Chains A and B, each alone.
Chain A
Amino acid sequence: MILSDQEYQMHKAAVWRATIILSVVTTVEVGIALLYDTFFHESGFRMALAVFMIMATLVKAYYIVAVFMHLKYERKAMAITILMPIMFLIWLLIALLMEGVSWHQMIEFYG
């Protein structure tokens, strides 16, 4: 089980690197979120910001799963069995968001 000193240092470095990346991304996210103050109701700008936020969140999720949870170092087959089922959620997300929009319209129908 015990790692060589060199490997141990390497893993430690990877973790601290990931920590810094997570912190920076979070700071940037929060900084940009403050822009909502002025642009909260402008849909085009909001959309762009939302896309950015989602991307940034996915980056953070990647570092947590890959480095902290160590998935990057596991066998590929295992990573695949864990990540593939997440695909089902994407269709659930798309379907339910489309439904949400359509419910909104059906409620708006009578005002």
Chain B
Amino acid sequence: MTTATNTVQANSESNVWEGGQAPFGVKYGKLMMWYFLLSDAFTFAAFLISYGAIRFTVGQDIWPEPNRVFDAFPVLGHGYPLLFVSLMTFILILSSVFMVRAVQEGHQMNKKGVILWLGFTILGGIAFLSCQAWEWAHLIHNGMTMTSPITYEIGGHGSGAVFVGPLAFGQLFFTITGFHGFHVTTGVVINTIVFLNVVFGTYEKKKNYDMVEKVGLYWHFVDLVWVFVFLGFYLL
């Protein structure tokens, strides 16, 4: 943002396009990250839109009810609809907040701050992945896989009336949350590499923490996608 404010002062908006300078006041690396995320957003959008199309094809009547599918919580057992997934959402949001803080400390050239907040970010990512692993394991244990449909008891646990959902639900769930989880995993790996670089002072020597900002964008994007995955699978 310093970049932006400085250049705005240096050049009036009208001639930033005249060449010899970056028209958005942004270095190419950050710009590339943004456009890569735009491109990646199209992949996720294609998945989510396919989800919508398939859901409409199957029909609303036999689409499973999220409150029944996702009502488990570790240790506590069943009967807590959406509680666990809300926890996952909060973890991811918080992790995203930590990342913003890391980026801000990076702008202040505060190495210690970056280490602290980036460390929290990575922990948040790992926590999210662990939660997702638990959720997947739980659902697979309950019989929902890529090739067998979701089942649950309509009137709550122990009521006996079994609802059998369409195959498509489980397939879409695992594909899309899996693809999201793959992004989170990549994010954690990249964050860790950047974290080590921060610790070893690579960016201190370079006199900028741009790399933290770039991986930060990626991390927020993962959060952004989760918001829509959350909407598709748990809220609608």
Q: Do chains A and B touch in the complex (CB under 8 A)?
A: yes
Instruction: Name A's B-contacting residues (CB within 8 A).
Output: 1-3, 8, 11-12, 15-16, 19, 22-23, 26-27, 29-30, 33-34, 36-37, 40-41, 43, 46, 50, 53-54, 57, 60-61, 64-65, 67-70, 73-75, 77-78, 82, 85-86, 89, 92-93, 96-97, 99-101, 103-104, 107-108
List, in ascending order, chain A residues with CB within 8 A of B1's CB: 3, 11, 70, 73-74
Chain A to chain B: the 3 pairs with minimum beta-carbon distance, closest first:
A100-B56, A100-B53, A78-B24
List, in ascending order, chain A residues with CB within 8 A of B60's CB: 43, 46
B70-117 interface (Cβ within 8 A of A): 81-82, 86, 89-90, 93-94, 96-97, 99-101, 103-104, 107-109
Residue of B nearest to A68 (CB): B220
* Contact of A34 (CB < 8 Å), options: B3, B31, B67: B67
Contact yes or no, B221 A15, CB < 8 A: no
* Contact of B52 (CB < 8 Å), options: A8, A57, A70, A93: A93
Whole-angstrom CA separation of A107 from B59 in the bound complex: 10
Give the shortest distance, in Å, between B183 (CB) and chain A (any CB): 15
Contact yes or no, A104 B59, CB < 8 A: yes
B196 at the interface (CB under 8 A from A): no
Contact yes or no, B223 A64, CB < 8 A: yes
* Contact of A19 (CB < 8 Å), options: B93, B108, B208: B93
Give the shortest distance, in Å, between A108 (CB) and chain B (any CB): 8
Instruction: Name B's A-contacting residues (CB within 8 A).
Output: 1-4, 8, 13, 16, 23-26, 31, 34-35, 38, 41-42, 45-46, 49-50, 52-61, 65-67, 81-82, 86, 89-90, 93-94, 96-97, 99-101, 103-104, 107-109, 208, 217, 220-221, 223-224, 227-228, 230-231, 234-236
* Contact of A78 (CB < 8 Å), options: B26, B67, B103, B109: B26
